Structures are given as structure tokens and as C-alpha cells.
Amino acid sequence: MNKTDVLIIGAGPTGLFCAHQLGIIGLNCEIVDNLDKAGGQCIELYPDKPIYDIPAVPECTGEELTNNLLKQIKPFNVKFHLNERVEELKKNQNRWHVKTSGGVEFDVAAIVIAGGVGSFEPRKFSVKECEKFEGNSLFYSIKDKSIFKDRTISIFGGGDSALDWAIELSNSSKVNLIHRRDGFSGAEASVQKVKDLNDQGKLNLFTKYQMDSVSGDKQIETIKIKHDEGEIKEIKSDYVLGFFGLIMQLGPILDWGLNINKKTVEVNTENFETNVNGIFAIGDICSYPGKLKLILSGFHEAALAARGCFKYAKPDEKLRFEFTTTSKAAQERLGIKK
């Protein structure tokens, strides 16, 4: 059981800055995120794209912004729980008991949801029968590549994941790479490599085809793919891999009794608390009149929510407003030696 003052759900810029604001006022926190790294949408959707509207930072990429925020919260030694999705929530007297998908448990005074547009989940095939084989012969990520040795693998997608795995698995498996168009979004060098392997007969490339159906008893045996112009091909296949990127889903947060409006959580603008006492929501996931989905708005919301958490974490103490330029306490927490 991890006992701390505040649990932050989401390690995007807003969640990271909230950890900073909590640290400054002397509260501890831990952060849970479903991705394998901090940064949220900044890292997952646009790590290399410049952002131009962070106050006092004329230009930075999503990756730079994330790294700077991580540096800024370093003094607080915040504990991260990555690859974990928050699942269960229970009120336990004045505290919250939270459990994640991986069985990690928390005992906290308050919760800050900084979940963006939800947790990132793999996009799946639209063909219904695919569900039946998911996790046994159809996968959206690879955990153990040894199972593919000497088998026939059909890989779908045109991005880096699809290309990289097609190239790698073609060494020891029979690989079909299927993509909906001639163009690819993956790196040019990988595209060339795939085309070379196709010419050398070490891989079969099918473009302008999409999944039509899968069949098999317990495991996938054959798949059918359909060309843009309607022609259908049947291919023997032991395994199917789909790499269509990630989609954001609100997930279990929907069941927590919060007021939800169009996939966002309603909050007040005084401290960004939801309709449930002790649960706050900040960043893209919250809504209120005038809400702007900007990182700078998330920072403002984080500062106020952090202060809103104080009364739950330290009910017998009074929070005094201080500046980091002059507050001895804040500077000590930041580890500044004078």
C-alpha cells in the first residue's frame, strides 16, 4: 500500500506541474500513468512538433517541455507508477483507497485527475471476429517475439511499429505486411528496406488491402484481406499483428460518480474540484464555462487544485500564500541552499 497525500492520475504536462505545485506547498504525491513514460499527449502525439504558446517559452517541442517539467519536479522525488491504469476507487473514512490495473494500491487524502482525453489504448481492428483471437493469436503489441519463430505472421499498418516489426520478424518468420495505401507514415529508410525485402522475396507486401475477416478454431488459421477495388485474397496466417496507433479512452473514471459532460469532467473554477469532495480534475479532462484546452490553462488549474488538496491532506493546518522568491519553506522544499 502506497500512502501519500495526493494521487495524480496522468503524467502529462498538467499532472507534472501539479506535482510541482503540491511539492511547493509541502504535500507529497505519486503519479500513475497508463503509458510507459511521462509526458502524456506531448510525448505520445507530438514529441517533435514545436509548441509556441507556453508563456515565456517562445518555442519548444513536446519532448523538451516534458523534460523541463521533470527537471522542475526533481527536488520532490515524485514516485511514478507507469504502465498502470487506475481501476478502482473506494472511500475509506476521510481518505481514498485506489487500485490500479497492475494491483498497485494507494491510500490518499485527495485525487487529482489530469487524464487528458483519457488513457491511451491501442486502436483495434474493426472486424468483429478479431476480438475472439485477441491475446492468443492476434496482438496489438509484442511482449514475447520468440513465439513467432518459423510461423506465418500478418502485420497490418503503415507506421514505424508495423515497418520495424515486419523487418525484424522477417529474419525468422514468414511475414506479410498489409497496408491500406501505397504511402507509409513510417521512416523513409524503413519503407525502402521493406520494399527491398519484398523484392528479394523475404517478405510479402500487400498495399491497398485491409482486413476483411479472420477465421480459425482456437487460433487464427487464415485471414482474408480486401483490395480497394473489391478483390479478396485469402492468406494462411498463424498470427496477426495490428499497429494502428493509440486511441484515448476515459475508461473506469466514468464509473466514479463524477459529473461527466462530453467525455470531460465538470469542475468548479475556484479550486477545480469535481462534484465529489476530494477529487479534482485539471487539464484537458476538465470542463467549465470558458475552458480552453491549452497547456497554460492546465498549469493554472494545477496550481489551484494543489491548494484545494491541502485541506484534505492537512485538515488541522492553515495554508499561507507565499512566493517562491521569498518563501524559506518553499526554497527548502526545492532543495535550494543559500
Partner 1 sequence: MAKITYHTHDNKTHTIDVQNGLTVMEGAVQNDIPGIDADCGGGMACATCHVYVKEEWLDKLPSKEDGEEDMLDMAFEPKNNSRLSCQLIVSDDLDGLEVNIPSKQG
Residues in contact with partner 1, counted by CB under 8 A, come to a total of 25
| 46/171 with CB nearer partner 1 | 46
Task: Provide the angle, in degrees to the nearest 10, between the axes of the packed helices 62-72 and 13-24.
Answer: 20
Least distance in Å: CB of 188 to partner 1? 13
Least distance in Å: CB of 263 to partner 1? 7
| 41/176 with CB nearer partner 1 | 41
Cell output for 82: 507507469
Least distance in Å: CB of 249 to partner 1? 8
93 lies in the binding site for partner 1 (CB under 8 A): no
By CB under 8 A, what part of segment 199-228 binds partner 1?
A: 210, 228
CA distance 4 to 69: 21
Indicate left, alpha or beta for 121 from its phi (over 0: left) and psi (-120 to 50: alpha).
beta
Least distance in Å: CB of 295 to partner 1? 12
CA distance 230 to 140: 26
232 lies in the binding site for partner 1 (CB under 8 A): no
**Alpha helices of the chain — where are they, by DSSP H?**
13-24, 41-44, 62-72, 130-133, 160-169, 188-199, 295-313, 328-333
Least distance in Å: CB of 82 to partner 1? 21
**Strands 204-207 and 209-215: what pairing?**
unpaired
Indicate left, alpha or beta for 113 from its phi (over 0: left) and psi (-120 to 50: alpha).
beta
248 lies in the binding site for partner 1 (CB under 8 A): yes
Nearest of 207, 218, 226, 251 to residue 127 by alpha carbon: 226
53 lies in the binding site for partner 1 (CB under 8 A): no
- Residue from 76, 96, 209, 244 in contact with partner 1 (CB under 8 A): 244
The count of other CB atoms within 10 Å of the CB of residue 32 is: 28
126 lies in the binding site for partner 1 (CB under 8 A): yes
- Residue from 159, 268, 314, 334 in contact with partner 1 (CB under 8 A): 159
181 lies in the binding site for partner 1 (CB under 8 A): yes
Least distance in Å: CB of 248 to partner 1? 5
| 140/312 with CB nearer partner 1 | 140
Half-sphere exposure of 123 (CA within 13 A, CB side): 8
| 50/102 with CB nearer partner 1 | 50
Least distance in Å: CB of 317 to partner 1? 39
- Residue from 167, 179, 265, 306 in contact with partner 1 (CB under 8 A): 179
| 68/185 with CB nearer partner 1 | 185
Q: Of 1-9, 28-36, 41-49, 310-318, which segment contacts partner 1 by CB under 8 A?
A: 41-49
- Residue from 293, 311, 314, 333 in contact with partner 1 (CB under 8 A): 293
**Strands 232-236 and 264-266: what pairing?**
unpaired
Measured at the alpha carbon of residue 53, what is the angle toward residues 51 and 59, in degrees to the nearest 5? 50
Sign of the dihedral defined by the CA atoms of residues 36, 40, 46, 50, in that order: negative
| 76/156 with CB nearer partner 1 | 156
Task: Provide the angle, in degrees to the nearest 10, between the axes of the packed helices 160-169 and 188-199.
Answer: 40
Element containing residue 211 per DSSP (H, E): strand 209-215
- Residue from 37, 99, 123, 151 in contact with partner 1 (CB under 8 A): 123
- Residue from 57, 187, 247, 329 in contact with partner 1 (CB under 8 A): 247
What distances in angstroms separate CA 36 from CA 32, 48, 137, 147, 336, one per listed residue? 10, 18, 24, 23, 31
Q: Under the rule (CB under 8 A), what is the footprint of partner 1?
A: 41, 45-46, 117-118, 123, 126, 157-159, 179-181, 183, 185, 210, 228, 244-245, 247-249, 263, 284, 293
